[in-house]
Amino acid sequence: MLFCGVCRSSMVTDRRNGKQLYRCNRAQSGAVPGHGGLAINMDDADDVVARTVWSRLTALDPEDPEDLEWLAEAARRFAAQADTGERQAELAAARAELEHVREALRTLYVDRQAAGLYVGGVGDQVFRESVERLTAHEARTAGRVEELGTAEAGTVAIPSEWTDPEGDPLGPESTWAGWTLSERREFLALFVDRVNVARSVGRGRNANTAERVAVHWAQTPAK
């Protein structure tokens, strides 16, 4: 999710003079005239991104629509990460079954009207029984579709310790400190869509690392 602010290409890890860096992956190709490369200290960049995310989480305003929308999108992504896909498969099967039974009902009515089937007393009884059976089946299946759809769209809360951590959320005893690199990436992907790194204004101690890192918050797919 880390991108060069000059050419918009992804950034990759590198090592120079014993230091771990992120560097632009495209600069070496010469595709962007005058773009000789962009790099940033890895530890500094990681710290800025992590602290930016945790700072917003711990300062959430429950009455701010933007904060609520951001948290809802993170919850949706959190649910998607944990979902095995079984519910989606069951929902798809239930929808297909519902369409099948409704088509059977349509066929039943068309046959009676167009082909003159189900005439006489016995025919009427068979028709009514068929309609009742299919209608009951339709109601059961529609209910199941609604139930699964509601569960699919329902809000899943992210862990409360993320919005109200004890102590420094990046401290040595924190949840963040105990996570693997993969777990940290999954966490950040809930709240961030991308991170852009701009050119440095200075070097060494004068490098404006924190100002170079721009976090773009998670947006709903429609946006």
Task: Answer yes or no: do 39 and 57 share one domain.
Answer: yes
Alpha helices, DSSP H, located in the chain:
42-58, 65-82, 86-114, 120-153, 160-163, 175-178, 181-191, 209-212
Task: Answer yes or no: do 175 and 77 share one domain.
Answer: yes
Task: Answer yes or no: do 134 and 105 share one domain.
Answer: yes
CA distances from 192 to 65, 117, 134 (A): 17, 62, 48
User: What pLDDT is recorded for position 67?
Assistant: 93
**CB contact at 8 A, 4 and 12:** no
Neighbouring-strand partners of residue 217: 192
In a domain, 47, yes or no: yes
Per-residue DSSP letter, 72: H
User: What pLDDT is recorded for position 176?
Assistant: 93
User: What pLDDT is recorded for position 3?
Assistant: 92
Per-residue pLDDT of the chain (223 residues; tens, 9 = 90+): 999 888 888 888 989 888 899 988 776 555 666 676 788 999 999 999 999 999 999 999 989 999 999 998 998 888 877 665 677 778 888 889 988 888 888 887 777 766 566 667 777 787 788 889 989 989 998 988 888 776 655 545 788 888 888 888 999 989 999 999 999 999 999 999 999 999 887 666 666 778 899 999 999 876 5
Q: Domain total for the chain?
A: 2
Note down the domain range covering 132. Answer: 86-153
In a domain, 161, yes or no: no
User: What pLDDT is recorded for position 158?
Assistant: 80
Q: How far apart are CA 22 and CA 14, in angstroms?
A: 6
User: What pLDDT is recorded for position 180?
Assistant: 94
In a domain, 125, yes or no: yes
User: What pLDDT is recorded for position 16?
Assistant: 87
Task: Answer yes or no: do 136 and 189 share one domain.
Answer: no
- Give me the residue label for tokens 């961030």: 192
In a domain, 166, yes or no: no
Task: Answer yes or no: do 38 and 71 share one domain.
Answer: yes
**pTM score of the predicted model:** 0.65
